[in-house]
Structure 1
Protein backbone atom coordinates (compact mmCIF):
# COMPACT_ATOMS: atom_id res chain seq x y z
CA UNK A 1 0.00 0.00 0.00
CA UNK A 2 1.60 3.23 -1.09
CA UNK A 3 -1.38 5.57 -0.95
CA UNK A 4 -1.24 8.59 1.32
CA UNK A 5 -4.25 9.19 3.53
CA UNK A 6 -5.47 12.31 5.27
CA UNK A 7 -8.23 12.87 7.80
CA UNK A 8 -11.59 14.09 6.58
CA UNK A 9 -13.51 16.76 8.48
CA UNK A 10 -15.32 13.90 10.22
CA UNK A 11 -11.96 12.39 11.22
CA UNK A 12 -10.69 15.68 12.63
CA UNK A 13 -13.96 16.16 14.51
CA UNK A 14 -13.70 12.65 15.95
CA UNK A 15 -10.19 13.37 17.23
CA UNK A 16 -11.26 16.69 18.74
CA UNK A 17 -14.58 15.70 20.27
CA UNK A 18 -15.05 11.89 20.06
CA UNK A 19 -18.43 12.70 18.53
CA UNK A 20 -18.78 9.56 16.40
CA UNK A 21 -17.56 7.02 18.97
CA UNK A 22 -14.70 5.55 16.94
CA UNK A 23 -13.34 2.45 18.62
CA UNK A 24 -10.34 3.02 20.84
CA UNK A 25 -8.56 0.32 18.84
CA UNK A 26 -8.57 2.52 15.70
CA UNK A 27 -7.85 5.90 17.38
CA UNK A 28 -4.04 5.58 17.38
CA UNK A 29 -4.05 4.96 13.63
CA UNK A 30 -6.41 7.88 12.99
CA UNK A 31 -4.19 10.17 15.08
CA UNK A 32 -1.10 9.20 13.07
CA UNK A 33 -2.71 9.87 9.68
CA UNK A 34 -1.41 13.26 8.60
CA UNK A 35 -1.54 13.45 4.81
CA UNK A 36 2.24 13.01 4.57
CA UNK A 37 3.08 9.40 5.38
CA UNK A 38 2.42 6.48 3.06
CA UNK A 39 -0.03 3.85 4.26
CA UNK A 40 2.67 1.17 4.53
CA UNK A 41 4.77 3.45 6.75
CA UNK A 42 1.78 4.06 9.05
CA UNK A 43 0.92 0.37 9.18
CA UNK A 44 4.51 -0.51 10.12
CA UNK A 45 4.20 1.80 13.13
CA UNK A 46 0.92 0.31 14.36
CA UNK A 47 1.56 -3.33 13.48
CA UNK A 48 2.27 -4.09 17.15
CA UNK A 49 -1.27 -2.95 17.98
CA UNK A 50 -2.77 -5.55 15.66
CA UNK A 51 -3.81 -2.96 13.06
CA UNK A 52 -3.44 -3.59 9.35
CA UNK A 53 -4.76 -2.68 5.92
CA UNK A 54 -8.26 -3.67 7.06
CA UNK A 55 -8.03 -0.97 9.75
CA UNK A 56 -7.30 1.67 7.10
CA UNK A 57 -10.22 0.36 5.05
CA UNK A 58 -12.46 0.57 8.12
CA UNK A 59 -11.47 4.21 8.70
CA UNK A 60 -12.03 5.02 5.02
CA UNK A 61 -15.39 3.23 4.93
CA UNK A 62 -16.45 5.15 8.04
CA UNK A 63 -15.60 8.46 6.36
CA UNK A 64 -12.76 9.34 8.77
CA UNK A 65 -9.98 9.33 6.15
CA UNK A 66 -9.54 9.53 2.39
CA UNK A 67 -6.69 8.77 -0.01
CA UNK A 68 -5.11 11.95 -1.30
CA UNK A 69 -2.12 10.89 -3.39
CA UNK A 70 0.65 8.50 -4.13
CA UNK A 71 3.86 9.35 -2.25
CA UNK A 72 6.54 11.31 -4.02
CA UNK A 73 10.18 10.31 -3.71
CA UNK A 74 11.64 11.78 -0.54
CA UNK A 75 13.89 14.80 -1.10
CA UNK A 76 17.43 14.59 0.23
CA UNK A 77 17.70 15.48 3.92
CA UNK A 78 18.13 19.18 4.53
CA UNK A 79 18.83 21.29 7.56
CA UNK A 80 15.68 21.84 9.62
CA UNK A 81 13.89 25.03 8.72
CA UNK A 82 13.74 27.65 11.44
CA UNK A 83 10.46 27.45 13.32
CA UNK A 84 10.39 31.18 14.05
CA UNK A 85 8.05 32.31 11.29
CA UNK A 86 4.42 32.26 12.38
CA UNK A 87 2.16 29.59 10.99
CA UNK A 88 -1.25 30.67 9.67
CA UNK A 89 -2.94 29.17 12.74
CA UNK A 90 -1.05 31.60 14.96
CA UNK A 91 -3.24 34.45 13.76
CA UNK A 92 -6.46 32.61 14.63
CA UNK A 93 -9.37 34.45 16.25
CA UNK A 94 -10.00 33.69 19.94
CA UNK A 95 -12.98 31.45 19.14
CA UNK A 96 -10.69 29.29 16.99
CA UNK A 97 -7.84 29.31 19.50
CA UNK A 98 -8.61 25.82 20.85
CA UNK A 99 -8.36 24.28 17.36
CA UNK A 100 -5.24 26.30 16.55
CA UNK A 101 -3.46 25.12 19.71
CA UNK A 102 -4.75 21.57 19.18
CA UNK A 103 -3.38 21.50 15.61
CA UNK A 104 -0.09 23.05 16.73
CA UNK A 105 0.39 20.29 19.31
CA UNK A 106 -0.57 17.56 16.82
CA UNK A 107 1.79 18.77 14.12
CA UNK A 108 4.77 19.49 16.34
CA UNK A 109 4.50 16.49 18.67
CA UNK A 110 4.73 14.20 15.66
CA UNK A 111 7.56 16.06 13.96
CA UNK A 112 9.61 17.07 17.01
CA UNK A 113 9.11 14.30 19.56
CA UNK A 114 8.04 11.37 17.39
CA UNK A 115 6.79 8.16 18.95
CA UNK A 116 8.13 9.21 22.35
CA UNK A 117 5.39 11.82 22.33
CA UNK A 118 2.58 9.28 21.98
CA UNK A 119 1.40 9.64 25.61
CA UNK A 120 1.41 13.43 25.26
CA UNK A 121 -0.50 13.09 21.97
CA UNK A 122 -3.18 11.10 23.78
CA UNK A 123 -3.49 13.85 26.40
CA UNK A 124 -3.94 16.41 23.62
CA UNK A 125 -6.70 14.25 22.14
CA UNK A 126 -8.49 14.03 25.47
CA UNK A 127 -8.35 17.78 26.06
CA UNK A 128 -11.72 19.41 25.67
CA UNK A 129 -10.87 23.01 26.55
CA UNK A 130 -8.17 25.58 26.00
CA UNK A 131 -7.31 25.43 29.70
CA UNK A 132 -6.63 21.71 29.42
CA UNK A 133 -4.33 22.38 26.46
CA UNK A 134 -2.58 25.11 28.49
CA UNK A 135 -1.83 22.55 31.19
CA UNK A 136 0.09 20.49 28.61
CA UNK A 137 2.41 23.41 27.77
CA UNK A 138 5.19 22.59 30.22
CA UNK A 139 5.27 18.80 29.64
CA UNK A 140 5.32 19.54 25.89
CA UNK A 141 8.20 22.01 26.20
CA UNK A 142 10.15 19.61 28.44
CA UNK A 143 9.75 16.82 25.86
CA UNK A 144 10.78 19.07 22.95
CA UNK A 145 13.79 20.32 24.88
CA UNK A 146 14.86 16.76 25.61
CA UNK A 147 14.35 15.62 22.00
CA UNK A 148 15.54 18.67 20.04
CA UNK A 149 17.43 20.98 22.40
CA UNK A 150 17.03 24.47 23.81
CA UNK A 151 16.90 26.47 20.58
CA UNK A 152 14.04 24.47 19.08
CA UNK A 153 12.20 24.38 22.40
CA UNK A 154 12.56 28.17 22.74
CA UNK A 155 11.22 28.76 19.24
CA UNK A 156 8.25 26.44 19.75
CA UNK A 157 7.60 27.95 23.19
CA UNK A 158 7.31 31.38 21.59
CA UNK A 159 4.91 30.12 18.91
CA UNK A 160 2.83 28.24 21.46
CA UNK A 161 2.63 31.26 23.73
CA UNK A 162 1.37 33.38 20.81
CA UNK A 163 -1.32 30.78 20.14
CA UNK A 164 -2.30 30.58 23.79
CA UNK A 165 -2.63 34.36 23.88
CA UNK A 166 0.00 37.05 24.25
CA UNK A 167 -2.02 38.72 27.01
CA UNK A 168 -1.35 35.75 29.27
CA UNK A 169 2.24 35.39 30.35
CA UNK A 170 2.88 31.69 30.69
CA UNK A 171 5.10 30.41 33.51
CA UNK A 172 8.37 28.91 32.34
CA UNK A 173 10.27 26.48 34.50
CA UNK A 174 12.82 25.72 31.78
CA UNK A 175 15.46 28.09 33.07
CA UNK A 176 18.01 27.17 30.45
CA UNK A 177 15.66 28.01 27.58
CA UNK A 178 16.29 31.69 28.15
CA UNK A 179 14.14 34.55 26.94
Structure 2
Protein backbone atom coordinates (compact mmCIF):
# COMPACT_ATOMS: atom_id res chain seq x y z
CA UNK A 1 0.00 0.00 0.00
CA UNK A 2 1.11 3.50 -0.73
CA UNK A 3 0.25 6.62 1.17
CA UNK A 4 -0.86 9.64 -0.85
CA UNK A 5 0.00 13.10 0.46
CA UNK A 6 -1.15 16.58 -0.46
CA UNK A 7 0.08 20.01 0.50
CA UNK A 8 -1.68 21.68 3.43
CA UNK A 9 -2.51 25.39 3.42
CA UNK A 10 0.84 25.89 5.14
CA UNK A 11 2.56 23.92 2.36
CA UNK A 12 0.80 25.96 -0.32
CA UNK A 13 1.87 29.16 1.46
CA UNK A 14 5.49 27.99 1.45
CA UNK A 15 5.37 27.27 -2.28
CA UNK A 16 3.74 30.60 -3.08
CA UNK A 17 5.53 32.97 -0.70
CA UNK A 18 8.51 31.08 0.82
CA UNK A 19 7.06 32.28 4.12
CA UNK A 20 8.65 29.50 6.19
CA UNK A 21 12.01 29.52 4.37
CA UNK A 22 12.28 25.76 4.06
CA UNK A 23 15.70 24.43 3.14
CA UNK A 24 15.97 23.64 -0.59
CA UNK A 25 15.87 19.86 -0.03
CA UNK A 26 12.53 20.09 1.83
CA UNK A 27 11.10 22.68 -0.56
CA UNK A 28 11.99 20.54 -3.59
CA UNK A 29 10.25 17.55 -2.04
CA UNK A 30 7.23 19.70 -1.13
CA UNK A 31 6.91 20.78 -4.75
CA UNK A 32 6.68 17.11 -5.80
CA UNK A 33 3.76 16.40 -3.47
CA UNK A 34 0.65 16.71 -5.62
CA UNK A 35 -2.12 14.68 -3.97
CA UNK A 36 -1.75 11.92 -6.58
CA UNK A 37 1.70 10.43 -6.14
CA UNK A 38 2.14 7.71 -3.54
CA UNK A 39 4.94 7.78 -1.03
CA UNK A 40 6.67 5.06 -3.07
CA UNK A 41 6.67 7.39 -6.09
CA UNK A 42 7.97 10.27 -4.00
CA UNK A 43 10.66 8.13 -2.35
CA UNK A 44 12.01 7.28 -5.81
CA UNK A 45 11.99 10.94 -6.83
CA UNK A 46 13.49 12.54 -3.71
CA UNK A 47 17.27 12.14 -3.46
CA UNK A 48 19.00 11.12 -0.24
CA UNK A 49 17.06 10.53 2.96
CA UNK A 50 13.63 10.62 1.28
CA UNK A 51 11.68 8.97 4.12
CA UNK A 52 13.03 11.49 6.64
CA UNK A 53 12.25 14.39 4.28
CA UNK A 54 8.60 13.27 3.92
CA UNK A 55 8.33 12.68 7.67
CA UNK A 56 9.68 16.17 8.37
CA UNK A 57 7.21 17.78 5.95
CA UNK A 58 4.41 15.80 7.58
CA UNK A 59 5.47 16.56 11.16
CA UNK A 60 5.83 20.26 10.44
CA UNK A 61 2.39 20.45 8.83
CA UNK A 62 3.40 21.15 5.20
CA UNK A 63 1.75 17.95 3.91
CA UNK A 64 -1.02 15.62 5.07
CA UNK A 65 -2.26 12.12 4.27
CA UNK A 66 -5.22 12.03 1.91
CA UNK A 67 -5.44 8.36 1.05
CA UNK A 68 -3.89 4.96 1.32
CA UNK A 69 -3.74 3.49 -2.17
CA UNK A 70 -4.00 -0.20 -2.91
CA UNK A 71 -1.01 -1.88 -4.51
CA UNK A 72 -1.07 -1.77 -8.32
CA UNK A 73 -1.65 -5.53 -8.62
CA UNK A 74 -2.40 -8.16 -6.02
CA UNK A 75 0.37 -10.49 -4.97
CA UNK A 76 -0.32 -14.14 -5.71
CA UNK A 77 1.07 -15.29 -2.36
CA UNK A 78 -0.53 -12.90 0.08
CA UNK A 79 -0.86 -14.39 3.54
CA UNK A 80 -3.10 -11.73 5.11
CA UNK A 81 -6.74 -12.56 4.23
CA UNK A 82 -7.42 -15.68 6.35
CA UNK A 83 -8.37 -13.73 9.48
CA UNK A 84 -11.89 -13.08 8.33
CA UNK A 85 -11.04 -9.50 7.58
CA UNK A 86 -12.24 -9.59 4.01
CA UNK A 87 -9.96 -7.56 1.84
CA UNK A 88 -10.14 -4.03 3.14
CA UNK A 89 -10.60 -1.68 0.22
CA UNK A 90 -8.39 1.35 -0.16
CA UNK A 91 -10.68 4.22 0.64
CA UNK A 92 -9.88 7.81 -0.06
CA UNK A 93 -12.34 8.67 2.73
CA UNK A 94 -12.06 7.84 6.37
CA UNK A 95 -13.05 4.33 7.48
CA UNK A 96 -15.61 4.07 10.29
CA UNK A 97 -14.36 4.61 13.80
CA UNK A 98 -13.50 1.42 15.68
CA UNK A 99 -15.78 0.17 18.43
CA UNK A 100 -13.16 0.32 21.19
CA UNK A 101 -12.61 3.60 23.05
CA UNK A 102 -10.38 6.07 21.26
CA UNK A 103 -8.23 6.74 24.35
CA UNK A 104 -7.52 3.05 24.80
CA UNK A 105 -6.68 2.56 21.12
CA UNK A 106 -4.45 5.64 21.05
CA UNK A 107 -2.52 4.56 24.17
CA UNK A 108 -1.97 1.05 22.84
CA UNK A 109 -0.89 2.30 19.40
CA UNK A 110 1.60 4.74 20.93
CA UNK A 111 3.04 1.98 23.13
CA UNK A 112 3.37 -0.36 20.12
CA UNK A 113 5.17 2.30 18.03
CA UNK A 114 7.53 3.34 20.83
CA UNK A 115 8.44 -0.27 21.63
CA UNK A 116 9.09 -1.13 17.98
CA UNK A 117 10.72 2.05 16.69
CA UNK A 118 12.23 3.71 19.75
CA UNK A 119 13.31 7.31 19.08
CA UNK A 120 12.55 6.94 15.37
CA UNK A 121 8.86 6.72 16.30
CA UNK A 122 8.79 9.71 18.65
CA UNK A 123 7.33 12.19 16.15
CA UNK A 124 4.44 9.98 15.09
CA UNK A 125 3.84 8.87 18.70
CA UNK A 126 3.47 12.51 19.71
CA UNK A 127 1.09 13.10 16.84
CA UNK A 128 -1.00 10.12 17.92
CA UNK A 129 -1.05 11.35 21.52
CA UNK A 130 -2.38 14.72 20.38
CA UNK A 131 -5.24 13.14 18.40
CA UNK A 132 -8.57 13.73 20.10
CA UNK A 133 -10.83 12.22 17.43
CA UNK A 134 -10.84 9.36 14.95
CA UNK A 135 -10.30 11.72 11.97
CA UNK A 136 -7.17 13.01 13.74
CA UNK A 137 -5.89 9.60 14.81
CA UNK A 138 -6.44 7.59 11.63
CA UNK A 139 -3.88 9.41 9.42
CA UNK A 140 -1.29 9.08 12.18
CA UNK A 141 -1.99 5.34 12.39
CA UNK A 142 -1.53 5.04 8.62
CA UNK A 143 1.83 6.81 8.85
CA UNK A 144 2.89 4.65 11.80
CA UNK A 145 1.99 1.54 9.80
CA UNK A 146 4.17 2.73 6.93
CA UNK A 147 7.09 3.54 9.23
CA UNK A 148 6.82 0.11 10.83
CA UNK A 149 6.79 -1.58 7.42
CA UNK A 150 9.83 0.40 6.29
CA UNK A 151 11.83 -0.07 9.49
CA UNK A 152 10.65 -3.28 11.17
CA UNK A 153 9.30 -5.34 8.28
CA UNK A 154 5.99 -6.61 7.00
CA UNK A 155 5.21 -8.91 9.94
CA UNK A 156 5.42 -6.09 12.50
CA UNK A 157 3.49 -3.71 10.24
CA UNK A 158 0.80 -6.35 9.68
CA UNK A 159 0.46 -6.88 13.43
CA UNK A 160 0.02 -3.12 13.90
CA UNK A 161 -2.51 -2.98 11.07
CA UNK A 162 -4.51 -5.88 12.51
CA UNK A 163 -4.59 -4.24 15.93
CA UNK A 164 -5.30 -0.64 14.92
CA UNK A 165 -6.32 -0.26 11.26
CA UNK A 166 -8.79 -3.04 10.55
CA UNK A 167 -12.45 -3.08 11.47
CA UNK A 168 -13.19 -4.94 14.67
Same fold? TM cut 0.5: no
Q: Give the TM-score normalised by structure 1.
A: 0.38
Larger Rg: 1
Q: Give the TM-score normalised by structure 2.
A: 0.40
